[in-house]
Chains A and B, each alone.
Chain A
């Protein structure tokens, strides 16, 4: 594989994969926040 193909693949899949994973993570954590809401008693 030539360097150009490698670099572009890393940007598209690597960066894309990072953004996608963190986006899914943010959705999951928002969901968990709704299921387990903060209560004042926790203070």
Chain B
């Protein structure tokens, strides 16, 4: 009898006794993510499920990430199959208006310049002894694009998924803090006050409708390995611009995006098991992610300066900083910075153009990268 009682009691304390030293630390990390999401409003729709998933997976003996654990089932269904980031992309496409970009298609080039950080960080990661595919996954943090980072990392370096995703989403939301000092440093006062005028409405509905088709076909032919990324974001946008499937568009940008975001967040959190996550490698990845976003901003602004010279002073180099995928935070940062030096300067719509260019640019960079890897026989 007493033996049965002791065994029963043992069952209640096993959870505490089985704690690895890393589990309490990771539970604390989960709580910090929840705090950032709830109190600081940093990407709450992602940080809340990620933080909670992180806490769940660090409670021992629950077996949530074991073969039949519910988190493992969600992970296998949506991350291993790459389905979650792609469904999110349909929603992003449905939410995005590429009009400001199409008003001045040259701005596409700023969206390309904003991707330099990906490739420069890739080299840094290689220098720090990461494997080639790990370096690709770390570099992609510079896309400033959560779903792209998750798609690439889950495919090529799933062991880094937790660190890469957390870095991508945290730095994306820290864009208003990271970008302004770099923008100020790299531009002169004369450049900051350049007025680009107002954006005239000059894009027809037909052009807007053809845009997603052109990107899908051209991008797909150049970089077929990235077609899932390009195809899904452009499908969402095509549905929006067609105007005839408003039910599907609404579902993509609301119900589907919300459900998938919840499942995606909790799956990412589930990869943050302390025994795997708490390594020096994670800290290096977080540092490299920060470097990637700084390099993106710097290269975007420097390319903006080139465009200023080429256009005879018509382009304000500040909008180059918006050539990343952090939409619309980056465009707002540019508007705010521009108005500090010239209160009558309205750069927002120009920056929105560069920002949507950055969205296309980041997806295109990932697509090109995947096809180059395939071409080199690495994947």
Contact = CB atoms under 8 A, between A and B. Distances in A.
B108 A25 contact: yes
Nearest to A28: B214
B368 A18 contact: yes
B283 to A, nearest CB: 21
B360 interface: yes
B214 A25 contact: yes
B218 A21 contact: yes
A36 B113 CA distance: 28
B109 A22 contact: yes
Contacts, number: 120
Contacts of B201: 38
B207 A32 contact: yes
B204 A13 contact: no
B351 to A, nearest CB: 17
A10 to B, nearest CB: 6
A26 to B, nearest CB: 4
Interface string B108-126: 1101110110111011001
Interface string A17-29: 1110111111111
A42 B204 contact: yes
Given A33-B203, A33-B207, A10 B372 contact: yes
Nearest to A8: B123
Interface residues of A, number: 32
A26 B207 contact: no
A22 B112 contact: yes
A10 B365 CA distance: 11
Contacts of B218: 21, 24-25, 28
B102 A33 contact: yes
Contacts of A6: 126, 132, 376, 378
Contact of B108 (A11, A15, A26): A26
A24 to B, nearest CB: 7
Contacts of B107: 26
Contacts of B364: 18, 21-22
Interface of B: 102, 105-109, 111-113, 115-116, 118-120, 122-123, 126-127, 132, 135-136, 201-207, 210-211, 214-215, 218-219, 222-223, 357, 360-361, 364-365, 368-369, 371-372, 376, 378
30 contacts: A1-B378, A3-B126, A3-B127, A3-B135, A7-B122, A10-B122, A11-B120, A11-B122, A14-B118, A15-B365, A17-B372, A18-B112, A18-B365, A19-B109, A21-B368, A22-B109, A22-B112, A23-B112, A25-B218, A25-B219, A26-B105, A28-B214, A29-B214, A30-B106, A32-B210, A33-B203, A37-B204, A38-B202, A38-B203, A39-B204
